[in-house]
Amino acid sequence: MLRHTRRNFLKTLAGAGALAAAGCAATGQRGGARLAADRPNVLYILTDDMRWDAMSCAGHPFFRTPHIDRLATEGVRFANAFVTTSLCSPSRASALSGLYAHAHGILNNFTDYPADLPSWPRRLQEAGYETAYIGKWHMGEQEDRPRPGFDFWMSHRGQGNYFDNEFNINGRREVIGGYYTHVVTDHAVAWLKRPHRKPFALCLGHKAPHGGPIQPEPKYEHFLDAVDIKRPPTADDYERGKPAWLKESVPTWHGIQGPLYGHKEYGRFVRSYLGTIASVEDSMGRILEALEETGQLDRTLLVFTSDNGFVLGEHGRVDKRTMYEESIRVPLLVRYPPLVPKGKVVPQMVLNMDMAPSLLDLCNAPPLRGIHGRSWRPLLEGRTEGWRAAWHYAYNYEKEFPYTPNVRGVRTEDWKYIHYPPGDSGPDRYTAELYHLKADPLETRNLVDDPACREKARELRAELERLLTATGALPDRMPLDEGIKTVLPRY
């Protein structure tokens, strides 16, 4: 049975790490030119809080993203990609490490990625890749220093601003004026156009479309003004059948106001959100053009995804953190012609923690041992046997966001069970939720108290307990709520 704490995980990795290092040293002796010919470059593009459906290739009704869509047309779109914790730092750490948050230990937005925890960029660096990180890192709120695993570093403290940021570039701080998306794209393009004697791996982290507040660049402030933005059909679905905390957390959904989001009118809020993604769309066009100019496009494994989804008024909510679909579902597009089928749509459930094993597998690099994620390379090749049928979600209460409780849940292809364990988030005023996603994709009918669904609720609760225990998130032989309460962090 697989059980993880960070200490046990790192101890398990000690022996494997020595073997991997020996293998990497041998690989490095083959020479940069041959290595570059044998392995793809990697370009990993990460947005912040971008919904899975905020692109035309996923069916958005009016927002057009032709450059982003090109990855889906010439590669693969994963139609059911999810994060296992819908919170920036834990989600980013899961993508880098291949681990659930309880195992990598980053449970909030203030903890940095541990220097001794392996990651896929670090493993590629060990395997002879030239690595770079440009843009939003968002782990370790007050720290901008270069992180292990990257030969080139350009990032900043915390969230960053949409305009005019101080970046740490390889240890030297510099204030760079201009709109965030264009600044990081300028530097990414310049880095891509440099001579590379070895295969490269570049991570490009966008700020968009994260709040604080959400600010599109001037040319996109009004580009959707002619579109009638309607409230989502579930905008008022936060009372009947929903847990008490949800109604309490909506002082108003009319209230997409305040410094985080910066807009009081719903249509303006959505236009601003999409406006920032329009700049990311422009960035994608420039990135593709740079790869074409340098002759590297078809030799580059290009990945586009996000660290979280985002709720735009559904169930009376704005933000992420919940286990509703809009919060946990993210875009995932992959283009690499030698291995990735053109125009393929993969329906199986893939997770952010699958990123690390998948990229290492596709790059023929030594794997990270003892992780929870799985390579989706078999899915690209049409081999679906034995793929996951269920996975678990976790969110831990933050005192800075007192309106969202602890969450644990399980999702299958057709069902979702959401559990609210007691803890620092307050008294036990949270009921569970059960949704038949196949019949009710908008999650409007909570079936947890439906007599016809009691057995399904018991089955999924047992599956949640099994998954939590199997991955080391729960002590063995301990009831669900008691076990969760023993491992909840204290803030």
Per-residue pLDDT at 91 exceeds 70: yes
Percentage of the chain beyond pLDDT 90 is 75
Say what the pLDDT of residue 402 is.
81
Would you say 96 and 119 are in contact if contact means Cβ atoms under 8 Å apart?
yes
Would you say 124 and 26 are in contact if contact means Cβ atoms under 8 Å apart?
no
Would you say 103 and 372 are in contact if contact means Cβ atoms under 8 Å apart?
yes
Task: Tell me which amino acid residue 18 is.
Answer: A
Average pLDDT, the chain: 89
Say what the pLDDT of residue 264 is.
64
Alpha-carbon distances of 59 from 54, 63, 394, rounded to whole Å = 8, 9, 28
Task: Tell me which amino acid residue 184 is.
Answer: V
Contacts within 8 Å (CB) and 24+ apart, 339-342:
339/40, 339/301, 339/377, 339/380, 340/75, 340/76, 340/301, 340/380, 341/75, 341/76, 341/380, 342/73, 342/74, 342/75
Q: What is the C-alpha separation between 351 and 85, in angstroms, rounded?
A: 10
Would you say 352 and 83 are in contact if contact means Cβ atoms under 8 Å apart?
yes
Tens digit of each residue's pLDDT (9 = 90 or more) over 415-463 = 999 999 876 554 445 579 999 999 999 999 999 999 999 999 999 999 9
User: Euclidean distance between the first and final Cα of the chain, in Å?
Assistant: 30
Say what the pLDDT of residue 251 is.
53
> Which candidate, 427, 423, 415, places its Cα nearest to that of 464?
415
Query: Cα 203 to the chain's mean position, in Å?
Result: 13
Min mean pLDDT across 19-23, 71-75, 233-237 is at 19-23
The torsion of the CA quartet 322, 400, 491, 320, rounded to 10 degrees, works out to 20
Number of C-beta neighbours around residue 364 at 10 A: 11
Say what the pLDDT of residue 489 is.
86
Would you say 384 and 348 are in contact if contact means Cβ atoms under 8 Å apart?
yes
Q: Which of 30-34, 154-158, 235-239, 312-316 has the highest mean pLDDT?
A: 154-158
Q: Which domains does the chain have, with CATH numbers?
A: 6-388 (3.40.720.10), 391-487 (3.30.1120.10)
Q: Given the structure tokens 């690209």, which residue do they identify?
A: 380
Min mean pLDDT across 7-21, 35-49, 215-229, 416-430 is at 7-21
Q: Given the structure tokens 């834990």, which residue do they identify?
A: 90
Assign 204 to helix, strand or coil.
strand
Tens digit of each residue's pLDDT (9 = 90 or more) over 328-358 = 999 999 999 999 889 999 999 999 999 999 9
For the residues 451-477, what does the mean pLDDT come to?
Answer: 96
224: phi > 0 → left, psi -120 to 50 → alpha, else beta; which?
Answer: alpha
Q: What is the C-alpha separation between 284 and 297, in angstroms, rounded?
A: 12
Q: Given the structure tokens 């309490």, which residue do they identify?
A: 248
Give the pLDDT band of residue 244 (cuts 50, 70, 90). confident
Tens digit of each residue's pLDDT (9 = 90 or more) over 109-159 = 999 999 999 999 999 999 999 999 999 999 998 899 999 999 999 999 999
Q: What pTM, to 2 d.p., does this model score?
A: 0.91
**Backbone phi, then psi, for 364, in 5-degree steps?**
55, 40
Give the pLDDT band of residue 263 (cuts 50, 70, 90). low
Per-residue pLDDT at 71 exceeds 60: yes
Would you say 256 and 264 are in contact if contact means Cβ atoms under 8 Å apart?
yes
**Backbone phi, then psi, for 350, in 5-degree steps?**
-120, 155
> Which candidate, 201, 203, 200, 205, places its Cα nearest to that of 183?
205
Angle of CA points 146, 151, 156, to nearest 5°: 30
Q: Which position has the higher pLDDT, 239 or 367?
A: 367
Residues in CB range of 328: below 8 A, 6 or more apart: 82, 83, 86, 308, 309, 320, 393, 411
For the residues 180-193, what does the mean pLDDT come to?
Answer: 98
